Amino acid sequence: MSTDTRNIVIVGGGIIGCTTAYYLTSHPKFDRASTTITLIEASKHGVAQGASGKAGGLVAKWAYPKELVNVSFPEHVRLAQEHDGTHRWGWRFVNCGSWEGRGEPPSTSEPGTGVGAGGRRKSLEKTLGLPSEADQRKQRMATGLPEDLNWVRPELTEAYSAMAPAGATAQVHPYLFTKSMLELAQERGVRFVQGKVTAVNIESSGSSRQVSGVTYVPHGSDAPEKLPATHIILAAGVWSPRLVPALPIVGTRAHSITIRPRPGTRIAPYVLFTEIALPGRGVRRASPEIYARPTDEVYCCGPGDDSPVPDTVDDVQVDQAACESIREHVASISRELAEGEVDKRQACFLPVVSAGGGPIVGEAGEIAKGLVIATGHTCWGICNAPGTAKALAELVFDGKIKCANLNKLKLSNFV
């Protein structure tokens, strides 16, 4: 794929697209005199409006596929060190555990609070009848609950186990990371365009097919424009098949909320994968994931659904009942979360390879030379963005991927 003059167009301003823009400008062969890079995003609100801005931000050595993880994790560490990721995008190592127990209806808020305009939950400071500190210590010892995990109720815990050793799990704030990657890329000459790409343009010459550019409609205009390209990197998540129908990508809608605890409440740095026996009649269980963030904000997400993928990321609908269920579930095991205020209720679509496995990363030469695909990262897009981006930068500038053997992630393996 190597060529002297390169006009690179990246379609999609999520974490894959923005991080790829950064890695392209960081490659030793990048030269602003001979290479132009344009990133086009369809959302009117800027980058990271889909899964990249509404994910938990987990970065793990135990993620998959290993070929990408083994590159991505050390790259996350390096990026945080070089660009002050701790302050810029909330980078830190975290504990990660599996929690099992039962939920109880929260009893720390007045009836009716949180309902209606301006409503806010308020604690009644009810402590009578709670287990003593000695009983809680016994419960922690019996279940393995860590002493510093201060935001789940020990008396409701039946079992806790660490999912990974220290140093194997970290986190970023995905919106801040994505935004930072674009900003760093723009400092090196990347052009950011807001508009909806409507076509990937391909020219044929005999049996050869080569990308020639994209057609897009800029925001604020109804007139389509063409942008020439020698390389097109398609990183549009679940919307990628709208431009290349051969891609076997489907979407899973996932809901999440963020909770801000009461002022002064400290939330220990844990990520929990829970299994909660819900209160009430019958056997009901829920498995929300809970991510404590450095600001003490807590991110919580629930199961996915198969709602149809809308026209653009700005058209994604949020099911308020699904968000409320997540809040009820996490509040049933944590006073801190029950007393906190829900800040965001949101939904996004995760790109999934319909045949299983994935993601799809590499040149789609069977469709056209110069067409590069990077989608289908499921729930590990945040984790695997640096590895994907490094591989694509090598593919564009060196003609092959050097950092890892990603042959099993080629499109030809999935179609």
pLDDT at 143: 79
The rounded Cα 275 to chain-centroid distance in angstroms is 22
Rounded distance, CA 124 to CA 112, Å?
13
Task: Look up the CATH number of domain 94-108+131-165+251-350.
Answer: 3.30.9
pLDDT at 280: 78
Of 2, 54, 68, residue with least CA distance to 30: 2
- pLDDT digit string (tens) for 43-78? 999 999 999 999 999 999 999 999 999 999 999 999
Q: H/E/C letters for each residue in the chain? A: CCCCCEEEEEECCCHHHHHHHHHHHHCCCCCCCCEEEEEEECCCCCCCCCCCCCCCCEEECCCCCHHHHHHHHHHHHHHHHHCCHHHHCCCEECEEEEEEEECCCCCCECCCCCCCCCCCCCECCCCCCCCCHHHHHHHHHHHCCCCCCCCCCHHHEEEEEECCCCCCEEECCHHHHHHHHHHHHHHCCCEEEEEEEEEEEEEEECCEEEEEEEEEEECCCCCCEEEECCEEEECCHHHHHHCCCCCCEEEEEEEEEEEECCCCCCCCCEEEEEEEECCCCCCCEECCEEEECCCCCEEEEEEEECCCCCCCHHHCCCCHHHHHHHHHHHHCCCHHHHHCEEEEEEEEEEEEECCCCCCEEEECCCCCECEEEEECCHHHHHHHHHHHHHHHHHHHHHCCCCCCCCHHHCHHHCC
R_g of the chain computed on alpha carbons: 23
pLDDT at 207: 86
pLDDT at 133: 54
Domain ranges of the chain: 6-91+172-248+354-413, 94-108+131-165+251-350
Task: Look up the CATH number of domain 6-91+172-248+354-413.
Answer: 3.50.50.60
Q: pLDDT tens track of the chain, all 415 residues? A: 545 799 999 999 999 999 999 999 999 999 999 999 999 999 999 999 999 999 999 999 999 999 999 999 999 999 999 999 999 999 999 999 999 999 998 654 332 222 222 222 222 222 333 345 555 556 666 678 999 999 999 999 999 999 999 999 999 999 999 999 999 999 999 999 999 999 999 999 888 999 999 999 999 999 999 999 999 999 999 999 999 999 999 999 999 999 999 999 999 999 999 999 998 766 689 999 999 999 999 999 999 999 999 999 999 999 999 999 999 999 999 999 999 999 999 999 999 999 999 999 999 999 999 999 999 999 999 999 999 999 999 999 999 999 999 999 999 999 9
pLDDT at 281: 67
Task: Decide: 21 and 37 in contact? Cβ < 8 Å.
Answer: yes
Angle at Cα 235 formed by Cα 167 and Cα 323, nearest 5°?
65
Rounded distance, CA 390 to CA 25, Å?
11
Does the pTM exceed 0.75? Answer: yes
Burial of 82 (0-12, 13-18, 19+ CB in 10 A): exposed
